[in-house]
Amino acid sequence: MVIEDNILRYYLRNCYFINGTAYAGKSTMCAMLAERFGMLHCAENYNLDTILSVAEPDRQPNLCYVNKMPSWQHFVNRSPEEYEAWTDGNARELTGFEIAELIRLSSDQKVIVDTNIPCEVLKRISDYHHVAVLLSPQSLSVDRFFDRSDPEKQFLLSVIESCPDPEKTLRNFKACIARVNSPERYEAFQTSGFFTLIREDTEKDTREQMIAALAAHFGLT
């Protein structure tokens, strides 16, 4: 059975999506928009527990990888090519879960979503005024990946530090992050046709300017 795009677009009409590269301000903007405009905030991986309880290895192998991998040290020592394939596979497999959950959550309220749904899918299930792309330079995405204090990144850093050759593993993992934040991916986002904001000045607090631009784009009042 296939649900046609126009049907999904109708049932997702209360959803506003922010996609883009790492360290571009997606999570911050989603949180601020939710608070300021009374929206439900769906942060990245917001329904992960449900997803992992439903995912099946033969149907969603990438989502099930963490439960079947040899160790976390194996996770951080994969090649950049393997990491990229896993990341892209996750995005594809998560899309169906995310759409189903958002239809349920947005029936009677506006929802702001920190999403990894591919832009080509967003073009089919949403529209220009419900999607925004936030970008940051590749160097920022890679060099400052572990600067954040969130538990997930700090856990990965602790795994890297526990490896036999931590420096080699760190170089490899940064190469993985660079691979999924490549200039080619940046260009694909920039030429997606969606409304785009680029974070270039990391020393200046631009949150108010960004939220004003996003609110105007989304038509929020």
φ/ψ of residue 119, rounded to 5: -60, -35
Q: What pLDDT is attached to residue 23?
A: 84
For 65, residues 6+ apart whose C-beta sits below 8 A from its C-beta are 86
CATH of the domain at 135: 3.40.50
Helix (H, G, I), strand (E, B) or coil at 64: coil
42: β partners: 113
Domain annotation covers residue 54: yes
Structural domain contains residue 16: yes
Across 195-200, average pLDDT: 90
List pLDDT tens digits, range 65-94.
988 899 999 999 999 999 999 999 999 999
Residue 80 domain flag? yes
Based on the structure, what is the number of domains in the chain?
1
- Report the predicted TM-score, pTM, of the whole model to 2 decimal places: 0.91
Q: What is the pLDDT of residue 204?
A: 81
Give residue 148's pLDDT: 74
**Is 221 within a domain?**
no
Q: Distance between CA atoms of 164 and 93, rounded to whole angstroms?
A: 33
Q: Does any domain span residue 172?
A: yes
Could you list the residue range(s) of the whole structural domain that residue 84 is in?
5-196
Residue 192 pLDDT exceeds 80: yes
Mean pLDDT value of segment 141-165 = 87
| Residue 221 confidence (pLDDT) | 79
Does 59 reside within a domain? yes
Question: In a 10 Å sphere around its CB, with 0-12 CB exposed, 13-18 middle and 19+ buried, how is residue 103 labelled?
Answer: middle
